[in-house]
Amino acid sequence: MRARDEPFDGLVCILGRIFIRNPPLSSFLLKLKRPHMSRPPHSGMLTVLMAFIVVIVTWAGNVALAPIALGVFAASISVVLVTLFVISAQPTILRLLLFFYSATPFSRWAMSRGWQRRLVSWYKSRRAARVCVWIKDDDIYVMLRALLSVQKNVPDARTVIFVHAYHSIDAVPSELHPNARLLDEAFPTITVE
């Protein structure tokens, strides 16, 4: 699989594990990604396929006994997908609202005169995404790869926070702060903390 398929795989695994309550589906999708993952598998493919078949048969039995279950499932998954879409498309939605606000006579009404300032500030706050990255090392190559990954996968990220954990203050590497400052200067559109 290509690297850009990973966010979609993660979304499907999260939906399978949390919202749909279907661990076999997420386990099956994780099996497909096993060559690219560092952890060895804990269960065989036959076990995952059998669990997937059991879940499908159970779900079909519930729908056969009470067809309303299909409607409840469709409604709940629709709400989850629409919510995920609205959350991910907030800057685009706000940009469209700003366009329609300025292109219509709505902006000249006394009741809605101050909305443009609020929409612009809301748009700026949505564009200013903060991303935390957990890294173990102060090596600039590792920090650069993490920053490039954030830049590729979260294009609206304006602040990247490198998170480290050490047992004592003496264990903090001496190159940590200078490397973060160097990356901050190398990427002017992203603030590195």
pLDDT in tens, 87-116: 777 777 888 888 887 787 776 776 777 777
pLDDT score at 32: 66
* Position 151 confidence tier, pLDDT thresholds 50, 70, 90: confident
**In the structure encoding, which two tokens stand for residue 95, read together?**
């940009």
* Lowest mean pLDDT across 32-36, 80-84, 171-175: 32-36
pLDDT score at 1: 42
pLDDT score at 34: 60
Instruction: Scan for tokens 């830049």, then name that residue.
Output: 151
Q: What DSSP string describes 16-32? A: IIIIS--HHHHHHHHHH
pLDDT score at 26: 61
- The neighbouring-strand residues paired with 131 are 160
Are 143 and 108 contained in the same domain?
A: no
Q: How many domains in the chain?
A: 3
State the chain's mean pLDDT as an integer.
Answer: 77
Are 98 and 84 contained in the same domain?
A: no
Instruction: Decide: residue 3, CB within 10 A, 0-12 exposed, 13-18 middle, 19+ buried.
Output: exposed
Q: Encode 62-86: b = buried (16+ Cβ within 10 Å), e = exposed.
A: eeeeeeeeeeeeeeeeeeeeeeeee
HEC per residue, 158-177: EEEEEECCCCCHHHCCCCHH
Are 77 and 95 contained in the same domain?
A: no
Are 7 and 83 contained in the same domain?
A: yes
Are 106 and 75 contained in the same domain?
A: no
* Position 119 confidence tier, pLDDT thresholds 50, 70, 90: confident
pLDDT score at 75: 92
Percentage of the chain lying above the pLDDT 90 cut? 5
| Domain with 31 in it | 3-88
Are 56 and 116 contained in the same domain?
A: no
